[in-house]
Structure 1
């Protein structure tokens, strides 16, 4: 991989075995939670919410307040990127992932409630993105359908989504890509072949990091459903891809989203991701400033963001890793420079 950019062609990113990816997922969770622990402590929040029936929720982030002004600032920054990409014939697609609490509010402890404003936060963000002419789709509704069909969309003791949720989101992403870009470059038959499903038992990240050994024993391990690499498929070098995904650990290969998207589009999909404490702003810069982007521009750029911290910009000190925090002006200047734009 060059500059952290990998191409999903054969079930996972080159140079990553499934075990290595799993270890990376654990490290990612630990790094994210270390940063968020400091944020939670500084804001008087619990580090983890211990719900009913062994369900765990991240304790950083408000269940009652919505930062509308912060959301508006973020939409303005995304619109700035969207316009610059349009000038280069690149379509931006915002993949907005909803908060876990929306799907399992009944598992929150007695007396802990999600306010009506927070219940409507995802819809508020989507409405503002659409009004700014930014391409997105309603992932919340898609995942509600998955939940309504009897499948879990998040793991009980983990912040991350299930394979069913990742697959449904990949389908929604592919449907929108086909709508905005009916003809993708490349050759048919180059999408990722999907391997067989496998089961793995382990503790979720919230349990692993926050619970005592006795608490972990009481709650128990979870069964994770993952896809193995397709039989007979090796790990190939990076190849030009018409679609690129940039985001955090939800879209890493271990949970299956990029492989499924590649399979549905029947084209390679490139990917760069890091733990959520790095934040979406630096992840976008990492890609735009990479040699991979300079050498081969995608037709569609999928920028994955997360509802609970969508209001936090590049300058959100204490939320993102210190090295990822920068003034908004610095961030916009680097985006402009990376895209070779004369637009200020």
Structure 2
């Protein structure tokens, strides 16, 4: 299973992607794998990405394609409604669902945004609006903002010159998910089958945003210190039988940052993982799993479905935002979910 991690570049304080094709490219970069993906990008792609980075205080970088000012709350609430329709279909097959939305880096780490740059009032209130809508539908959407805010002040919440949340934030959100799952009732399987966590290690290298900068800017931004776990079990999928819980998402939940391992450790059950490139999108990623032989052979007891806040406004039919093979009408998406879970 492959994904890509995020990428930017910082020419001005608030540059933005201006057309849908370029935005789709940036979403792809925002999901590129940490190791070596950047070097495989064509030069034209690198040039496009370099015009959509926000240079913040203290050499922090932010993704310019995730707008800090465009509200889009109404479209995000439509996405919540579609997620609810999907989880109802899963529930009809005995599958529980927990939803995770990775907040904007500019929301979680606002203190390092450039002087004079801030979330608009609409964007500031958007996450709470999504949670309220989910609560009204009895949809289990965890408060990832609160989980990340609770990370120890000595640790980064997002990686300074990278698109992704830190390993500590990934684990904090995974712990919140585990509590939500526990509140839904006993999990199947046997205690003792969860992942054993390794020790925290420090790896020094360029963040995915810095890696797309021109050489002089890249050097000025410098390398990041990635604080991640050493492997405690096979990465991303626990040894110990069929997954009781399946995580479906993008590069925020990739094994490198430790989300699935921490979740498995916290629930003490095997956890499976399906993650894809950012421009595949969460809708098609879920279908990739539900239409797979792995799902057919061993349906999980629960699915943890992960989204990025900066893409929440994009439904399955959002042409130009997702890869062409991932674009479909909302009705077509629901029909495929129904067929896959029949």
Same fold (TM over 0.5): yes
Contact between 1:61 and 1:308, CA under 8 Å: does it hold in 2?
yes
Could you tell me which runs of 5 or more consecutive residues in structure 2 were left unpaired when the two chains were aligned. Answer: 3-31
**Correspondent of 1:58 among 63, 75, 80:** 63
Match of 1:14 in 2: none
Match of 2:119 in 1: 114
TM-score normalized by the length of structure 1: 0.83
Give the 3 Å change call, closer, same or farther, for CA 36–106 of structure 1 in structure 2: farther
Give the 3 Å change call, closer, same or farther, for CA 236–333 of structure 1 in structure 2: closer
Greater relative contact order structure (CA < 8 Å, 6+ sep): 1
What are the Cα deviations for residues 282-339 of structure 1, in whole angstroms up to 9, with x where unaligned? 1100011011111111111100011121111011122212222222222121111111
Match of 2:34 in 1: 25
Give the 3 Å change call, closer, same or farther, for CA 48–236 of structure 1 in structure 2: closer
Could you tell me which runs of 5 or more consecutive residues in structure 1 were left unpaired when the two chains were aligned. Answer: 6-22
Q: Distance in 2 between matches of 1:322 and 1:232?
A: 33
**Correspondent of 1:318 among 295, 320, 325:** 320
TM-score normalized by the length of structure 2: 0.84
Contact between 1:98 and 1:139, CA under 8 Å: does it hold in 2?
yes
Residue pairs, 1:33-48, within 5 angstroms: 46-48=51-53
**Correspondent of 1:199 among 202, 206, 221:** 202
Residue pairs, 1:70-81, within 5 angstroms: 70-81=75-86
TM-aligned CA deviation for residue 35 of structure 1:
12
Residue pairs, 1:204-243, within 5 angstroms: 204-209=207-212, 211-230=213-232, 239-243=241-245
Match of 1:189 in 2: 192
Contact between 1:35 and 1:321, CA under 8 Å: does it hold in 2?
no
Give the 3 Å change call, closer, same or farther, for CA 82–139 of structure 1 in structure 2: same
TM-aligned CA deviation for residue 239 of structure 1:
3.0
Please say if 1:169 is aligned against 2:169: no
Match of 2:16 in 1: none
Alignment coverage as a number of residue pairs? 313
Match of 2:278 in 1: 276
Contact between 1:29 and 1:205, CA under 8 Å: does it hold in 2?
yes
